[in-house]
Structure 1
Amino acid sequence: MSVLEARELVVDIPGRQGGDPLSARILPGQRWGVLGPNGAGKTSLLHTLAGLRPPRSGTVLVDGEPLAVLRRRTLAQTLAVVFQERQDSFPATVLETVLIGRHPFLSPWQREGADDVRLAHQALDALSLSTLKDRLVSTLSGGERQRVAIATALTQQPGIWLADEPTNHLDLHHQVAVMELLHQQAEAGAGVFLCLHDLNLAARWCDHILLLYPDGELCFGPADTMLVPEALERLYDQSLSVFTVNGKPVFVPA
């Protein structure tokens, strides 16, 4: 399994001067939740960690190697990104789309083999998509398309997951199913890094929390030290009531 590390990383966000540098390691088996209001830079941070945009300063490393020196194919064999929104450039079925997760492991013009197809079908089963495998992705609902994106990442078998609002568009049942799947990925040794809006999903499923404030301030640590009303009320500028359900905090706007 792989380690994702940020060293003195400052994300380049237009209109924001400076910002606290992030130095942290996402280790195998950890589940990080990134929380913050709209515009705080959650998506920008995730894209920077994925090497999709340059930082203002600092370095991102995978297994001790800077992203800048890694071949994209090598990085794609290790790290998967689930975007908040996506565009479908070409018509494709659900199965064809999920098989894209195997492309980093294939040589140019090589077709998927039996093992690749098996992994894709396993991912479809895991996301309750098997009955949709022959449907065009363009005909799916937003929630179904989100599950296809997660199934594609699952087929990639990454050691590091970067997911931007992975429960976006999902109903309650599928929110829980997706968070449980990501929990299982962490238990199998993957590092999981999630941008979330739902405090209660973060409280239930994440063991580390990173708080991003609009002015560039950040703080992080174990979930039980970060998910406290004082920090969260300042983060969201919103009073909260907190209850305990099955040993986990549940936050309700006051």
Structure 2
Amino acid sequence: MATPTPTLEARDLVVDVPGRQDGRALTLGIASGQVWGVLGPNGAGKTTLLHTLAGLRPSRAGEVCLEGRPLFGWRRRALARRLGLVFQERHDDFPATVRETALIGRHPFLSPWQQEGPEDHALAAAALARLDLSHLAERELATLSGGERQRVSLATVLTQAPAIWLADEPTNHLDLHHQVAVMGLLAEQAERGGAVMMCLHDLNMAARWCSHLLLLYPDGEACWGPAEAMLVPAALERLYDQALTRVEVEGAPVFVPRR
């Protein structure tokens, strides 16, 4: 079987994690159809990595390439048409409704001062429906719960319709039902030819939904590969400094912490 062509690549990339002087260089590619999970303890550099891949932070060494071209060579509007980023937390400086926020996802496709058209509104409405937000479309963001606000962020990127999703803890603040729905949504993007990389704290969500995993250790070490090769208790116990028991549920691995 042919190796998938990477859509987003890290080439000898060393992420500039504050307070850490070392770090293994990453050379990996995120290809269409893949769902990557980034796992590691707090402070390991997961968010910093995602922001570096999105072009929001400089790297210490190496480069990021999109479709074979260095990221710095892309115009921001062209980049935003291909790559979407879900932040772990957002701060809303201006009042806006849920619908107005979702429509921000169409801005890379509009010229300055151009108003959203019927197609843009249709995409936003479909995204709100997909994230179970249609009934909140006219609500102000400030009135939403944390989980509802997180789903608005996801709906905004879904309205943007990028080929590549970078998601920082996309299930943050969500109840179990919506966690499963969001993970299913991200897997669906890959099934349709997109590529996904997300930071996760839920090991079992990663085991259930990810095709590939990147393990970031607090000392700067990293290892990556297909999920089945990474889901080894010894490696995960060292990653989290926590004893784990692996069991199988309906053919899928589940990790239970031991005292």
TM-score band, normalised by shorter chain: over 0.9
Q: Contact 2:47–2:199 at 8 Å: present in 1 too?
A: yes
How big is the shift at 1:190? Answer: 0.5
Instruction: Report the equivalent of 2:212.
Output: 208
Give the secondary structure class of the aligned counterpart of 1:3: strand
Q: 1:32 maps to what in 2?
A: 36
TM value normalised by structure 2: 0.97
CA contact (8 A) 1:35 1:209 kept: yes
Query: What is the correspondence of 1:174-253 to structure 2 with a 5 Å cutoff?
Result: 174-253=178-257
1:20 is aligned to 24
* Residues 55-66 of structure 1: pairs in structure 2 closer than 5 A: 55-66=59-70
Structure-1 separation of matches of 2:188 and 2:26: 27
What's the CA shift string for 1:124-148, capped at 9, x where partnerless? 0000000000000111000000000
Cα shift at 1:247? 1.1
With normalisation by structure 1, the TM-score equals 0.99
1:91 alignment partner in structure 2: 95
SS of the residue corresponding to residue 230 of structure 1 reads helix
| SS of equivalent residue, structure 2 residue 27 | strand
Q: Which residue of 2 aligns with 1:49?
A: 53
Report the 3-state secondary structure (helix = DSSP H, G, I; strand = E; otherwise coil) of the residue aligned with 1:118.
Answer: helix
2:115 maps to a residue whose letter is R
Question: Where does structure 2 lack aligned partners over 5 or more consecutive residues?
Answer: none
Distance 2:76 2:240 in 1: 36
After superposition, the CA RMSD in angstroms is: 0.9
State the one-letter code of the partner of 1:110.
Q
Matching residue's letter, 1:33:
G
1:127 aligns with 2:131: yes
SS in structure 1 at match of 2:198? strand
Matched, 1:148 2:152: yes
Q: CA deviation at 1:89?
A: 1.1
Please say if residues 2 and 191 of structure 1, whose CA atoms lie closer than 8 Å, have aligned partners that are also in contact.
no
Q: Is the 8 A contact 2:37 2:199 kept in 1?
A: yes
Alpha-carbon separation, structure 2, partners of 1:209 and 1:235: 13
Counterpart of 2:37 in 1: which secondary structure? strand
Q: Which whole-Å CA distance do the structure 2 matches of 1:193 and 1:220 have between them?
A: 13
Q: Runs ≥4 in structure 1, deviation > 2 angstroms?
A: none
Distance in 2 (CA, whole Å) between partners of 1:29 and 1:67 is 21
Total equivalences in the alignment = 254
**Would the aligned equivalents of 2:6 and 2:29 in 1 still touch at CA under 8 Å?**
no
Structure 1 residues not aligned, in runs of 5+: none
Q: Percent identity?
A: 69
Q: Deviations over 1:201-248 (max 9, x none)?
A: 000000100000001000000000101101000000100011111111
Q: Encode CA deviations 1:149-194: one digit per residue, 9 max, x unaligned.
A: 0000000000000000000000000000000000111000110000
